């Protein structure tokens, strides 16, 4: 089979690789589509934490069952996606049902080879039934689950002002699920086309451009002086994260979905007097995947709005660097096989 390997930052190579044999407890998938995630871009750029080269990237998957065991509830040809967070099942996190932050987590396409190949082998427990979703919809389920998990971590209540920083695909999904939870959503970014997308495609009423607006004053005006009770960072940008502490209402929750490598810095007295809560949000759980699929099926989420670019598998090596330019209107690129 063909696979695409990221050998070092900035270097892809197509290779011929032996197609994996089926083993007990695993299912062989024929890949139909792969979404390109921020993780993949960061790996290509050499700025992805917890990453080693060479690596086959890709964890946002639409696939069909190629081979599975006789005991499986799936049959050959069934459409699926996966929960790409391969866990041990034995550590303290797994024993407490938090398999999304397993101590020895192996994320598909990050710690182990991923889906930019014609076939992959995945643990049976990772399979997520397609439930009639199209391949384009299935490939968006995992990134949308990231936002759904972050909103669940924040315990968003109807009527709350929720500030989402970063209007990339993860941020957009987070905004969608904040809206579904009944929040008043505020989008903050430096990229006006992305903010226009929030307004026009997602119906976000409040948009703030961090480069041209007085962010603090705009937030005060929007929230009638209260400031947001939930702040969620989806940028993974240190400056954006550190700045965001000043945007919190008293009693607010700050959720970090975005990830960066350095140390966060904030004023302890300012944080303390607010009795603020700082949370991280890593990956997603099966309940989040179920919520995403339900919201797609009932029309609350329209994942096809997100897909702005498609490229064939054989084009990825030559076209991947072009996707890094925001000027081309990129929201979500999908590789088709």
pLDDT at residue number 70 = 82
pLDDT band at 315 (very low <50, low <70, confident <90, very high): very high
Residue 47 confidence class, pLDDT cut points 50, 70, 90: confident
Is residue 89 helix, strand or coil?
Answer: coil
Across the range 245-252, mean pLDDT stands at 98
Question: Residues 33, 39, 41, 46: is their CA dihedral positive or negative?
Answer: negative
pLDDT tens, position by position, 15-28: 999 999 999 999 99
- pLDDT computed for residue 51 by the predictor: 83
Residue 312: HSE in the Cβ half-sphere, 13 Å Cα cutoff: 3
Say yes or no to pLDDT of 324 above 90.
no
User: Residue 71: pLDDT above 90?
Assistant: no
pLDDT tens profile 182-209 = 999 999 999 999 999 999 999 999 999 9
277 pLDDT above the threshold of 70:
yes
Output the six-digit token pair for 287. Answer: 């309940």
260 pLDDT band, cuts 50/70/90, is confident
Q: What is the pTM of this model?
A: 0.95
How large is the average pLDDT for residues 270-294? 98
Q: Tell me the average pLDDT across 34-54.
A: 88
Cα gap 187→175, rounded to integer Å: 8
pLDDT-above-70 percentage for the chain: 99
Angle at 184 between CA 302 and CA 230, to 5 degrees: 105
Please state the rounded mean pLDDT for residues 303-328: 89
Cα–Cα nearest to 59, from 19, 105, 93, 92 = 105
- Report DSSP letters for 227-263, one per residue: --SEEEE-S--HHHHHHHGGGPPTT-EEEE-S--SS-
The residue ranking higher by pLDDT, 148 or 261, is 148
Q: Look at the block and give the residue holding tokens 């499986």.
A: 72
DSSP 42: H
Place of tokens 């550590």: 91
Q: Counting Cβ atoms within 10 Å, is residue 73 exposed (0-12), middle (13-18) or buried (19+)?
A: exposed
Q: Give the tokens for residue 15.
A: 């290779």
Q: What is the pLDDT of residue 38?
A: 87
pLDDT, position 110: 93
| Axis-axis angle for helices 141-154, 169-180 (nearest 10) | 50
Contacts of 139 (CB under 8 A, 6+ apart): 33, 34, 35, 60, 61, 62, 81, 334
C-alpha distances (whole Å) from 294 to each of 34, 51, 145, 216, 289 are: 21, 33, 11, 36, 9
Which residues make beta-bridge pairs with 122? 27
User: Which residues have a Cβ under 8 Å from the Cβ of 238 and sit 6 or more positions away?
Assistant: 260, 262, 264
Give percent of the chain with pLDDT exceeding 90. 92
Q: Answer whether residue 327 shows pLDDT above 60.
A: no
DSSP per-residue letters across 90-156: -SHHHHTT-GGG-TT-EEBTTTB--SSBSEEEEEGGGEEE-TT--HHHHTTHHHHHHHHHHHHHHT-
| Partners of residue 161 on adjacent β-strands | 184
pLDDT reading at 248 higher than 60:
yes
pLDDT at 332 over 90: yes
CB atoms < 10 A from the CB of 210, how many? 18
- pLDDT, average across residues 197-224: 97
135-184 tens-digit pLDDT: 999 999 999 999 999 999 999 999 999 999 999 999 999 999 999 999 99
| The predicted structure's pLDDT at residue 328 | 64
The rounded Cα 201 to chain-centroid distance in angstroms is 18
Mean pLDDT over all residues of the chain? 96
Q: What is the pLDDT of residue 42?
A: 87
**What pLDDT, in 10s, does the model give residues 79-123?**
999 999 999 999 999 999 999 999 999 999 999 999 999 999 999
């Amino acid at each position: 089979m063909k696979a695409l390997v990221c050998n070092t930052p900035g270097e892809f190579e197509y290779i011929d690789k032996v197609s994996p044999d089926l083993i007990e407890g695993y299912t062989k998938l024929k890949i139909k589509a792969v979404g390109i995630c921020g993780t993949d871009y960061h790996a290509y750029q050499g700025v992805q934490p917890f990453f080693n080269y060479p690596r086959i990237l890709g964890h946002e998957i639409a696939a069909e069952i190629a081979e599975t065991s006789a005991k499986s509830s799936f049959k050959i040809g069934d459409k699926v996606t996966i929960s790409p967070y391969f866990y041990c099942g034995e550590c303290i996190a797994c024993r407490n049902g938090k398999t999304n932050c397993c101590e020895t987590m192996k994320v598909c396409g990050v710690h182990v080879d991923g889906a930019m190949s014609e076939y992959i082998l995945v643990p049976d427990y990772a399979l997520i039934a397609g439930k009639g979703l199209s391949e384009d919809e299935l490939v968006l389920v995992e990134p949308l689950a990231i936002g759904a998990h972050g909103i669940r971590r924040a315990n968003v209540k109807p009527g709350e002002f929720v500030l989402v920083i970063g209007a990339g695909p993860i941020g957009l999904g987070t905004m969608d699920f904040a809206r579904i939870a009944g929040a008043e959503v505020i989008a903050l970014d430096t990229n006006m086309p992305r903010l226009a997308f929030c307004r026009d495609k997602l119906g976000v009423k409040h948009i703030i451009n961090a480069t041209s607006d007085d962010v603090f004053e705009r937030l005060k005006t929007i929230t009638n002086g209260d400031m947001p009770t939930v702040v969620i960072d989806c940028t993974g940008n240190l400056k954006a994260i550190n700045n965001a502490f000043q945007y919190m209402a008293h009693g607010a929750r700050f959720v970090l979905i975005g990830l960066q490598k350095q140390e966060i810095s904030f004023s302890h007295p300012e944080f303390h007097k607010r009795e603020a809560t700082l949370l991280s949000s890593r990956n997603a759980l099966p309940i989040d995947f179920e919520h995403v699929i339900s919201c797609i099926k009932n029309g609350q989420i329209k994942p096809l709005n997100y897909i702005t670019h498609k490229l064939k598998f054989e084009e990825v090596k030559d076209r991947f660097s072009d996707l890094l330019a925001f000027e081309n209107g990129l929201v979500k690129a999908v590789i088709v096989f």
